[in-house]
Structure 1
Amino acid sequence: MTLVETRTELISPSQAPHAELDALTTGTVVVPGDPGYDAIVSPWNVAIPVRPAVAVAAETAQDVVEAVRYAARHGMHVTPQATGHGPMAELTTELLVTTAGLDECVVHPEGWARVGAGVKWLRVVEAAAPHGLAPLSGSITDVGIVGYTTGGGLGPMARTYGMAIDRVRAIEVVTGDGELRRVTPTEHPELFFGLRGAKGMLGIVTAIEFDLVHQPTFYGGSLWFDGEDAATVIERWLHWSEDLPELATTSVALFQLPPMPGVPTQLAEKLTLSVRYVWTGDAAEGERRFAEIRGAAPVLLDDVALKPYTAIDSVHTDPLDPVPAHEAAAVLTDFPAEAAEALLALTGPGSASPQVLVEIRQMGGAIAREGEHESAFCSRDAAYSLLTVGIAGTPGVEEHASAILDAVEPWTGGHRLPNFTFTPGEYVDAYDEPTLARLRQAIRTYDPHGVMAIGRVLAT
């Protein structure tokens, strides 16, 4: 029988017989009020109210299969979650499948890795390091690999090696029709195209295989300046970065860090500017290239040095602990002096900005080139990305973030980064029309009943 033939009368998620799901799976099934419910469903961004009618903590790929088939039978929509760095409350109201328990992690010394959907980058970084290898991990290694990679994967070595999706060899996924499939460039090529860039629209990934790069060390880190010197340093950074070769990946970020453990006293309770830098080539050449930035203004803290790849988190200095974050983002076609001036008017000295972080990343280099296999990632033409992060609930933080986006609107263009989308409606803006058409066709093929909640955003 097919799913269509066995589908029962549609009922509300709260009425579904969840004991049936519990009997079909080895993982824990919880509903609101159950012990352990909050621990299973709570995301890293604690500002997002993730409160599904039922959740299953999958322990095997078969658990995911059973959960998706169960949802189809009962007319429910399914959303996956691993680490919960990018949840959307609107998409997590019915059946949540958490994949944190899929923890397989194997690094092959010849240069590739296979991991389960619950694995974070740190495990691969540490396992690859003895072999002189590194993954194209994110700006912090506490992020889950699958969510990051399926959204493209813009990491601290991206200008050298490209996006994380460009290194994917194979993906194992449970599609919306309840089938577990192994997807490669030659097996289900439309899924291979769509899963690399469209996040969870086409199914729930259970495992992923990807190539590593030979990168035992890098020259880099973060160099900190007083916020009063932000205009001078950013002007220098813009001119300096124009001629950087692809061996360098860089960004600048305005911070307002609270006094807390791990925050150096010279950076706390004040506006500071961090210049982030990763040089993947010869360290002496990387140091020579960076000298111009070191001379831009008096330095508060210099953490740029030759380091093992296991120290990659020192570049972006992202927080490890869960936070209630409000985020906003855009991609820019350019970031000239006029754009920097408009940004600093709202976020620089004397602006009373409520944002904790305002970041500009330089793109280009290998990011701009399609990998060996085409993907659903449509942001390769962007010159820069902009991200703001504030503490949710801070008075005026949302309005201020909107004002920042309005200020840089003359330089905003292209398709937003899938990993920097924060509402379902923003997903459509991440893709061009040909890609949208291909994704919609793949959804009709592999999720004909619209079981995957994220896929329903595009299935028009």
Structure 2
Amino acid sequence: MTTVLLPGEDAYERCLASLFHPVAAASAPERILQPAGAAELGPLLRQAAGEGRAVHVCSGGCSALCSGSGGWMLDLRPGFRGLRMLEGREGRPQQVRVEAGVSMGELVRALAIHGRTVPQGLSGAPGMGYVLSGGIGPLGRRHGLAIAAVRQIELVRGDGQAQTLAAGDAEAWALTGAAPFLAVVTALTLETVPRQPLRCWRALVPDALLGPLHRLAAGLPRDLCVNWQLEPGRIYLHVLAGDSGSDLDRFRAALLAGPRGRLLWEETVTVAGQEQLPPFRWPRQDRGESGHGPAPRRSRPQQAVIGLLERADQSLSGSEERCAELLRSLIAQRPHPACQIASQQMGGAMAEPAADSRAFPHHRSGWKPWITAVWERGDAEGEARAHYWLDGCWDALAPHFGGVHLAQHRPDSPRHGEELERAFGPCLPELHRMKTSWDPHGVLPPLV
């Protein structure tokens, strides 16, 4: 039976406070619905359509779309906890069926027991939305995008109709990129890969190394993946490699060679699997973290995020120094000290498309930079400055990164339509036709 949480109840407050995304956590939905299983979703969606209510679906709580003021929040986390290994060749468990309330961190920890894994992002907090938005992660250069691991999708369309699609079915392509606009995905069946030991080099280096970093990264084998976060004057590096480490050692030596190659801090750890990796964040001693719990949901700093990708006609090759200088200039102009510019390396197996990747057309991008704009809740001027800075960064970087990755959403932005166009490209009209068919009453987020 569906649990209903209403404003003013302690459980309602706890549920919203548990959301990772601060804008979603600060929202005020009319009610929070926690269904016990997929059979309850169809009636709930039809009821929402009849009452003219918008529905926001929460799987992991990391997207601005997972809750919203005035509508209904559909929280899948309590009732969709199933996780079951499926037998593959020679009776070995090679696939996993995972329900939508399981986070990626929970999934990879459960798979580790069987010596298996799936490509995860830089955080284990997201739910299945991570996979369905493309699934860019450190193991992707070796194993491919997470959407390439999808074998079956169980869902309830916006009109309340339940459906199960195999990866090669005619309409499945739209779910690997545009799922939040079309359906509530209740479970995925994923192909797993062998769990492997990893080495992680974390370091702080001068920001003058950003150009050389991009040049060196372009020639790295698939076994290595470079991730960075930029602050004025320095870069935090988070580099992953197979446990042999020789390629990592050569990359480190090449990056630090020359007069600009100065180390501010470093550590190297070896782990048995990706579930044991250290977090992607600045070292605690440099960030002055207090170790206290999160701030109350209504007082957390707010944020907006956009992820960028290279289009097929773009490449950073030959313009690494110009792009690095631009990035240093942009971060120096940030309006709040928590604003960030970071990037994940792509390429390798991620450039090999899934069976039908129309809804994720920029899979051949070499990098995915993302920009996080931050402001204090209630500070209207600060919010305006943050969005102005974010949009300015986007426009400045567009000659290098003309695509958009919709892992995060800005549904209230006046440029949301432009984000959709740059994310989906020529398949957007076809997605509009599917939206009309699958969600005729517009219960789920609008595709405009």
Asked if TM exceeds 0.5, the reply is: yes
Report the aligned-residue RMSD. 2.8
1:292 aligns with 2:254: yes
Following superposition, the deviation at residue 405 of structure 1 comes to 2.7
**2:57 match:** 80
Q: Distance in 2 between matches of 1:96 and 1:374?
A: 29
> Could you say if the C-alpha distance between residues 56 and 352 of structure 1 is closer, same or farther in structure 2, counting changes exceeding 3 Å?
closer
Following superposition, the deviation at residue 85 of structure 1 comes to 0.9
Following superposition, the deviation at residue 279 of structure 1 comes to 2.0
Q: Distance in 2 between matches of 1:450 and 1:177?
A: 9
> Could you say if the C-alpha distance between residues 183 and 321 of structure 1 is closer, same or farther in structure 2, counting changes exceeding 3 Å?
farther
| Unaligned ranges ≥5, structure 2 | 87-91, 283-288
Following superposition, the deviation at residue 315 of structure 1 comes to 5.7
> Could you say if the C-alpha distance between residues 372 and 303 of structure 1 is closer, same or farther in structure 2, counting changes exceeding 3 Å?
farther
**2:158 match:** 176
Letter in 2 for 1:219: R
Following superposition, the deviation at residue 158 of structure 1 comes to 1.8
Q: Distance in 2 between matches of 1:382 and 1:403?
A: 21
Aligned residue for 1:237, secondary structure, equals helix
Letter in 1 for 2:324: A
Q: Distance in 1 between matches of 2:247 and 2:364?
A: 28
**2:4 match:** 29
Q: 1:442 aligns with which of 414, 422, 434?
A: 434
**2:285 match:** none
Following superposition, the deviation at residue 230 of structure 1 comes to 0.8
**1:14 match:** none
| Unaligned ranges ≥5, structure 1 | 1-25, 257-270
1:273 aligns with 2:230: no
Alignment of 1:349-364 (within 5 A): 354-364=337-347
Aligned residue for 1:457, secondary structure, equals coil
**2:134 match:** 152
C-alpha contact 1:247 1:281 (8 A) present in aligned 2: no
Letter in 1 for 2:6: V
CA deviation digits over 1:355-376, x for unaligned, max 9? Answer: 4431133322222221134451
> Could you say if the C-alpha distance between residues 397 and 30 of structure 1 is closer, same or farther in structure 2, counting changes exceeding 3 Å?
same
Aligned residue for 2:52, secondary structure, equals coil
1:71 aligns with 2:64: no
Alignment of 1:227-376 (within 5 A): 229-231=206-208, 233-255=209-231, 272-280=234-242, 282-295=244-257, 297-311=261-275, 313-314=277-278, 316-317=280-281, 324-329=301-306, 330-332=308-310, 333-335=314-316, 336-347=320-331, 354-376=337-359
Larger deviation, residues 378-387 vs 238-247: 378-387
Q: Distance in 1 between matches of 2:301 and 2:139?
A: 28
CA deviation digits over 1:320-365, x for unaligned, max 9? Answer: 95863423333343442111112112325x9886344311333222
Q: Distance in 2 between matches of 1:112 and 1:353?
A: 44
Normalising by structure 2, we get a TM-score of 0.82
**2:392 match:** 403
CA deviation digits over 1:404-445, x for unaligned, max 9? Answer: 3343233231x3101033235333431112x21332232233
Letter in 2 for 1:104: G
C-alpha contact 2:23 2:64 (8 A) present in aligned 1: no
C-alpha contact 1:334 1:384 (8 A) present in aligned 2: no
Q: 1:220 aligns with which of 192, 196, 200?
A: 200
Aligned residue for 1:340, secondary structure, equals helix
Q: Distance in 2 between matches of 1:344 and 1:66?
A: 52
C-alpha contact 1:51 1:92 (8 A) present in aligned 2: yes
Q: 2:34 aligns with which of 57, 60, 77?
A: 57
Larger deviation, residues 167-176 vs 424-433: 424-433
C-alpha contact 1:221 1:276 (8 A) present in aligned 2: yes
Q: Distance in 1 between matches of 2:200 and 2:135?
A: 20
C-alpha contact 1:157 1:249 (8 A) present in aligned 2: yes
> Could you say if the C-alpha distance between residues 325 and 112 of structure 1 is closer, same or farther in structure 2, counting changes exceeding 3 Å?
farther
Letter in 1 for 2:321: A
Following superposition, the deviation at residue 195 of structure 1 comes to 0.9
Q: Distance in 1 between matches of 2:355 and 2:447?
A: 28
Identity level (%): 21
CA deviation digits over 1:229-281, x for unaligned, max 9? Answer: 211x212212211211222221221248xxxxxxxxxxxxxx64112212247
C-alpha contact 1:78 1:92 (8 A) present in aligned 2: no
Following superposition, the deviation at residue 120 of structure 1 comes to 0.8
Larger deviation, residues 37-46 vs 238-247: 37-46
Normalising by structure 1, we get a TM-score of 0.80
C-alpha contact 2:67 2:73 (8 A) present in aligned 1: no
C-alpha contact 1:157 1:280 (8 A) present in aligned 2: no
1:431 aligns with 2:414: no
Q: Distance in 2 between matches of 1:118 and 1:167?
A: 18
C-alpha contact 2:149 2:190 (8 A) present in aligned 1: yes
C-alpha contact 2:334 2:389 (8 A) present in aligned 1: no
Letter in 2 for 1:60: G
**1:419 match:** 407
Larger deviation, residues 212-221 vs 197-206: 212-221
Aligned residue for 1:419, secondary structure, equals coil
Larger deviation, residues 362-371 vs 172-181: 362-371
Q: 1:162 aligns with which of 136, 144, 159?
A: 144
Q: Distance in 2 between matches of 1:404 and 1:441?
A: 32
**2:13 match:** 38
1:128 aligns with 2:116: no
